[in-house]
């Protein structure tokens, strides 16, 4: 990777005054000047609606296997999906804290409670492993597309997959999802974990016979080492969180599921009923995939915002400067050290940032203290416990009301806000052990 020299960085500082605030670790709100209408944005796009449909169909084919291998998905017939819930007490509490009346409904999308791996990574991560498994099984004539995929839950398939391995680099949750799914299918699986990864996540993986390799360095290093390991072994498949189209597509399937849930709640999304979605962002694949799916579904009626820790604003930096993966937060003097382990990424995805650029409304940052405070507040008001990363979206509606007036005005949304809906994407937390939940909660009291 080419390093930024000091001259480049100082030129960037002249060009983008917001960099000063980013480096000072202030919370910022950034509106994307490159947003386009859906119609014009989609023309440049290298992935299409058909790609998303194809991913949906693949997940449907695998549903009988998922039910068989993970019985707690029985209630959804093997479809890995999370609840969408109203959080009226949290809304009141936010309104009183920030002295703002929040116009529109406030809902929480509980990917924290996705089955199998308890985070948004149960979408993309599991999808990519299933796709790889299907490809191998088809190539070796163990499977046809018409088969009942519950045959994957058999010794014959597990023996077959034991000849192959899967490798991934992760800050924790992607490792959990890839590790659990791959091991269940019978693959050898190795997870390269960054220094941010929590002990309990590593312990859980080891208990499932996953090889866990730990690094003192951050996420980018863990990914690099994973990539190296896979490069020397043809039977080894590398899940490339920095560039993977399959991960992205797995995440994007969320949109059609959400559409159904909104209809069940009798919530309209159209010209006069805007939808605002706030997505915690690490390397960008998860929030990027979900936002892309939502744009396909709701076009210009949905407004997506990314949320990052003040110590890891990598996607905001990449988008604002247009440099994407050619710049890291470290190069502008930020340390990438945050308790929001799922978001501790210093250099953004090139793939996700470029695809989402014409579609994203904006992005903001939030401090770790703020995340803990919101964590406690959500537990107190709604009895829902999340991990710190997953709270990054929670402050989005407040930020929009405080700093997004220009955006709302420009898109003719000010009057429509009252009829609108805000969805906070809660990206993880259900698998956090109870003693650690308690620790998190206590940090919110300080």
* Residues at the site binding ligand PLP, with contacts judged by CB under 6 A: 119-121, 173, 280-287, 342-343, 345, 387, 389-390, 427-428
Nearest-angstrom CA–CA distance, 53 and 74 = 23
- Report the Cα–Cα distance between both ends of the chain, in Å, rounded: 40
Query: Which residue lies nearer to ligand PLP by CB, 115 or 280?
Result: 280
Do 39 and 296 contact (CB within 8 A), yes or no? Answer: no
Contact 326, 390 (CB under 8 A): no
Nearer to ligand PLP among residue 286 and residue 318 (C-beta): 286
Closer residue to ligand PLP (CB): 4 or 352: 352
- Residue 5, classified by CB atoms within 10 Å of its CB into exposed (0-12), middle (13-18) or buried (19+), is exposed
The smaller minimum CB distance to ligand PLP, of residues 391 and 400, is found at 391
Q: Output the smallest distance, CB 301 to ligand PLP, in A.
A: 24
Contact 81, 396 (CB under 8 A): no
Q: What is the DSSP letter of 266?
A: T
Whole-angstrom Cα distance, residue 306 to residue 329?
16
The CB-of-177 to ligand PLP minimum distance in angstroms stands at 9
Helix (H) or strand (E) holding 87: none
Nearer to ligand PLP, 250 or 274 (CB): 250
Beta-carbon-side half-sphere exposure of residue 251 (alpha carbons within 13 Å): 29
Minimum distance of ligand PLP from residue 84's CB (angstroms): 17
Shortest reach from residue 125's CB to ligand PLP, in Å: 9
Closest by CA to 305, choosing from 389, 404, 209, 375, is 404
Q: Kindly list the distances between the CA atom of residue 291 and the CA atoms of 49, 234, 286, 341, 438, in Å, as whole numbers in the listed order.
A: 13, 34, 9, 21, 32
CA dihedral sign of residues 216, 247, 433, 310: positive
In the complex with ligand PLP, the residue whose CB is nearer, 166 or 352, is 352
Quote the least distance from Cβ 365 to ligand PLP, whole Å: 14
How many Cα atoms are found within 13 Å in the side-chain-facing hemisphere of 329? 32
- Whole-Å CA distances, 340 to 150, 248, 299, 311: 37, 21, 30, 9
What is the nearest approach in angstroms of ligand PLP to the Cβ of residue 147? 31
Least distance in Å: CB of 27 to ligand PLP?
18
For residue 99, the number of C-alpha atoms closer than 13 Å in the C-beta half-sphere is: 0
Considering beta carbons, is residue 169 or 358 the nearer one to ligand PLP? 169
Beta strands in 199-274 (DSSP E): 211-214, 236-239
Nearer to ligand PLP among residue 137 and residue 371 (C-beta): 371
Nearest approach, Cβ of residue 220 and ligand PLP (Å):
12
Kindly tell me which of 376 and 416 has the beta carbon lying closer to ligand PLP. Answer: 376
Q: How far apart are CA 71 and CA 77, in angstroms?
A: 9
Give least dist CB 257 to ligand PLP, A: 18
Work out how close the CB of 121 gets to ligand PLP at its nearest, in angstroms, rounded to a whole number. Answer: 6
CB of 41 or CB of 287, closer to ligand PLP: 287
Angle between helices 368-382 and 88-98 (to 10 degrees): 130
């Amino acid at each position: 990777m080419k390093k930024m020299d000091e001259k480049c960085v100082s030129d960037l500082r002249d060009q983008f005054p917001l960099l000063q605030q980013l480096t000072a670790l202030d919370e910022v709100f950034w509106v994307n000047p490159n947003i386009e209408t859906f119609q014009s944005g989609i023309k440049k796009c290298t992935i299409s609606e058909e790609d998303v449909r194809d991913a949906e169909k693949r997940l449907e084919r695998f549903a009988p296997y998922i039910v068989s291998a993970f019985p707690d998905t029985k209630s959804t017939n093997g479809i890995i999906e999370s609840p969408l819930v109203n959080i009226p007490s949290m809304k009141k509490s936010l309104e009183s804290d920030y002295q703002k009346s929040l116009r529109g409904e406030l809902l929480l999308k509980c990917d924290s409670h996705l089955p199998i791996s308890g985070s948004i990574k149960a979408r993309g991560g599991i999808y990519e492993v299933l796709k790889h498994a299907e490809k191998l099984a088809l190539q070796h004539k163990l499977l046809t597309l018409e088969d009942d995929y519950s045959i994957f839950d058999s010794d014959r398939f597990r023996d077959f997959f034991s000849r192959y391995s899967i490798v991934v680099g992760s800050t924790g949750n992607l490792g959990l999802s890839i590790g659990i799914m791959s091991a269940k299918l019978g693959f050898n699986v190795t997870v390269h974990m960054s220094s941010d990864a929590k002990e309990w996540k590593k312990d859980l993986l080891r208990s499932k016979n996953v090889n866990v390799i730990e690094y003192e360095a951050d996420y980018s290093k863990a990914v690099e080492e994973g990539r190296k390991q896979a490069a020397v072994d043809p039977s080894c498949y590398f899940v490339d969180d920095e560039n993977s189209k399959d991960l992205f597509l797995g995440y994007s399937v969320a949109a059609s599921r959400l559409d159904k849930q909104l209809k069940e709640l009798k919530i309209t999304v159209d010209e006069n009923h805007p939808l605002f979605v706030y997505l915690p962002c690490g390397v960008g694949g998860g929030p990027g995939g979900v936002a892309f799916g939502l744009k396909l579904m709701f076009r210009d009626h949905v407004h997506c915002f990314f949320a990052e820790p003040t110590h890891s604003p990598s996607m905001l930096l990449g988008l604002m400067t247009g440099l994407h993966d050619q710049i890291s937060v470290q190069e502008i003097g930020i340390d990438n050290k945050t308790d929001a382990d799922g978001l501790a990424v210093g250099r953004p995805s090139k793939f996700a940032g470029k695809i989402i650029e014409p579609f994203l409304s904006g992005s903001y940052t939030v401090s770790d203290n703020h995340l803990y405070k919101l964590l406690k507040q959500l537990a107190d008001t709604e009895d829902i416990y999340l991990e710190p990363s997953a709270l990054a979206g929670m402050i989005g509606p407040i930020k929009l009301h405080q700093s997004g007036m220009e955006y709302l005005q420009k898109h003719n949304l000010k009057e429509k806000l009252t009829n609108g809906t805000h969805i906070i994407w809660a990206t993880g937390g259900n698998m956090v052990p109870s003693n650690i939940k308690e620790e998190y909660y206590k940090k919110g009291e300080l």
